[in-house]
Every structure is written in structure tokens, then in C-alpha cells.
Structure 1
Amino acid sequence: MRRKTDETDIEINYSKELFVDTGNPVLNHLLKTLFYYMGKNVIIKAKFDLNHHLWEDMGITIGQFLKNEVESKKIKRFGTSILPMDDALILVSIDISRSYTNIDINIKDAEKGFELGNFKELILGLSRYLQSTIHIKQINGENAHHIIEASFKALGSALKTALEPSDKLESTNRVYEV
């Protein structure tokens, strides 16, 4: 899958091993974490003009990539994960059905590269293009690196569960012909 705009050029493809080169070391680290916890090996390559555009378009591209994977398939749909990382404890809950995002994070100890605004843009893009409800709640933590990395771990873990195949359509909303 490729997304090319005037601001970014992002490509994601399945691979035999996990490889990420976005030109942003922090985002590389976090995307490796996300896909590792999802249990998916991919190659991600990106070029960009501004970090904000990279993070936002990366969320959109990942959302499109995952949406293509599950289109017309029965999946478990729901996934929830609570994961710690040092001082941080994060809860992520997902419903792959329609777009909604709630991010309840308060970072006290900032760290360059781990900006909350860029993180939110990535999650918003992912939610919109995967058509998923994503709740991320910080239960504990102060360090930006720990909070955001734990969020990516929990997000990957929750997505892994939600994207698993299901024997049935996971919905009580049925369309009946009259």
C-alpha cells in the first residue's frame, strides 16, 4: 500500500521481517513496537516534509492498510489491552466498526520526539481510515517516552485481538429484508 501526497510518501507492505525507515528515529521505534505487538511483519518506508505531516499521514496509511486486510472478512472486532512500561500504565480498547477517538493522556515529563500532538494525529488518522473506535487511557505515568511507547504496545496488542478472524459476524445489528 502506498500513500503519496505533496507532504509525504509512505509505503507499507508485508514482509518476512519487520523493517521501518521513516526518517524519524522515534517514529521508527514506535512503529516497530506497534507492529511487533500486532504480530505482523511489514516494511515501512517514508519520506516527508514536516514531522506533523509524517505522523498524521502514517496513521492514515496504517488505517488504510489494515482496512484493506479485513475488508469483507469476519473479525473479532473488539480488542482491549492494559500494559505497563515503568511508571506508565495504559489501557487501550478498540472496536473496529466506526470512527471515534478518545485519548485521555496527560504527560508531565516531556521528551523530544514524544510529542502528544503528533501521537494524537497518528491515532486520529488510524481511527478514521480503519473505521474504528479507539480509546486510550493513561492510568498512571509521567514520562512521555514511557506513556507513548506503552500506548503503542497496548494498541498493537488490542489490534492483534480485534483483527483476528471470527467464525461469525460480530454484530447484533442485522439487516433484514422485508
Structure 2
Amino acid sequence: MRTATVHRATAETRIDVTVNLDGTGTYRVSTGVGFFDHMLEQLSRHSLIDLDVTTVGDLHIDQHHTVEDTGLAIGQAIAQALADKRGIRRYGDALSPMDETLTRVALDISGRPWLVWKTQFSQVKLGEMDTEMFQHFFHSFAQTAGLTLHIKTLYGENNHHIAESCFKGVARALRIAVEIDPRKADAIPSTKGTL
């Protein structure tokens, strides 16, 4: 089983994350930010990565540390569960429609963190979540997971749909990328021999 548990504790947040890359998309998520919980549930369900997240953050200040540190911890757990990345497909992509919205996601479990973010929101909050924090979550997540991650919303109007199509698209691309390739299950997918 490709699993990992990460505990992250700072003066700003306390986070426990457990992932199972070979799961069924079951989740238990509690961050104190309702809309963020909903998005992480989508990430788990559509990637088939089991996700257990408990975050206690300094929400009396704002959501920044809670969202950022949760992204860092989830990414770190996924990287640990991938170990040397032997046998994975490595690349994944998805077109993620949600009603009037369409988002394109492509990712590479490259070990070279990078985020290209081409998504905009027309309101500053969704529920109680600041929409500027979506980009920050994906940046933090890509950083510790070691992902080259491109997210572009091609079109869309409803802000909820835009956010959800981003998370579902990342989930579907991640599902493909972390799967074991039966044709090369014993090999690291790089001519360098390491990722």
C-alpha cells in the first residue's frame, strides 16, 4: 500500500494528513473552512486517493495559514507515499467541465515544482473562503508534492463552478499520474533514472 501520514505543527497551524494513493476516494476532512473542505473532498473522490485531513489553524486572523499549510502537508504526504515514484505513469491531464465552465489541467510528477495558474474569479469570497487562496493552495500543494502543475480555466461564469472544476480537474489528472503503469511497473519513468 502506498500510504503516508504527515504531522505538521507550527505556531499558526496543527495539521494531520493521511493519504492512500491506492484507495477508493474516501475522505474525512476538517479544516474549519467549509468551502475548502468541500474542495478537498472533491480532490479525494475524483482522484481515488483516500484523504484524511484535520487542520486547526489561526482562523481568527484569516485563512491564509490554514489553506497554505494544509496544501503543504497534503503535498508532502503524497510525495512520501510515492517514494521513488517507481512504476507510476507520471503524467496526467484532464478537461473538467462543470455546467458552463471548462478547465484544463495538466501535470507532471517531475520533482520540479511549478504552478501555472490561468484562472480568475469575479468575487472575492466563496462562502467564507477567499478566492485568492485557491491559487495559493495549488502553489503550496505543487511545491511539496513535486508537481509541475498547469491549471487554466478556458471559460466559465459561476465562481463555484470555476473553483470546483479546478479541483476536479487536478484530481482526475492526479489519478492518472499516480497509477502504476503495468507495462513499466518496475521502472522509474525518467531517462535520468530518478525523479
**Which TM-score applies when normalising by structure 2?**
0.83
- The one-letter code of the counterpart of 2:79 is K
Is residue 24 of structure 1 aligned with residue 38 of structure 2? no
Determine helix, strand or coil for the equivalent of 1:92. strand
Quote the residue 2:166 is aligned against.
151
Correspondence list, 1:36-47, <5 A: 36-47=45-56
Is residue 8 of structure 1 aligned with residue 27 of structure 2? no
Distance apart, 1:122 and its partner CA:
0.7
- The one-letter code of the counterpart of 1:108 is S
Distance apart, 1:144 and its partner CA:
1.5
Quote the residue 1:108 is aligned against.
122
Given candidates 67, 71, 75, the residue that maps to 1:59 is 71
Q: Which runs of 5+ in 2 are unaligned?
A: 1-5
Quote the residue 2:105 is aligned against.
92
Separation of aligned partners in 2, 1:26 and 1:142: 18
Quote the residue 2:188 is aligned against.
169
- The one-letter code of the counterpart of 1:107 is F
Determine helix, strand or coil for the equivalent of 1:103. strand
Quote the residue 1:79 is aligned against.
92
Alignment: residue pair count? 175
Contact 2:19 2:78 in 1 (8 A): no
Given candidates 151, 155, 162, the residue that maps to 1:140 is 155
Separation of aligned partners in 2, 1:14 and 1:139: 30
RMSD, matched Cα: 1.8
Determine helix, strand or coil for the equivalent of 1:142. coil
- The one-letter code of the counterpart of 1:24 is V
Separation of aligned partners in 1, 2:167 and 2:153: 12
Determine helix, strand or coil for the equivalent of 2:54. strand
Contact 2:19 2:81 in 1 (8 A): no
**Which TM-score applies when normalising by structure 1?**
0.91
Contact 1:18 1:32 in 2 (8 A): yes
Given candidates 43, 48, 67, the residue that maps to 2:57 is 48
Determine helix, strand or coil for the equivalent of 1:101. strand
- CA deviations 1:64-95 (Å, max 9, x no partner) are 01000101131111000101111210011000
Separation of aligned partners in 1, 2:156 and 2:15: 32
Is residue 124 of structure 1 aligned with residue 153 of structure 2? no
Determine helix, strand or coil for the equivalent of 1:91. strand
Determine helix, strand or coil for the equivalent of 1:32. helix
Determine helix, strand or coil for the equivalent of 1:136. strand
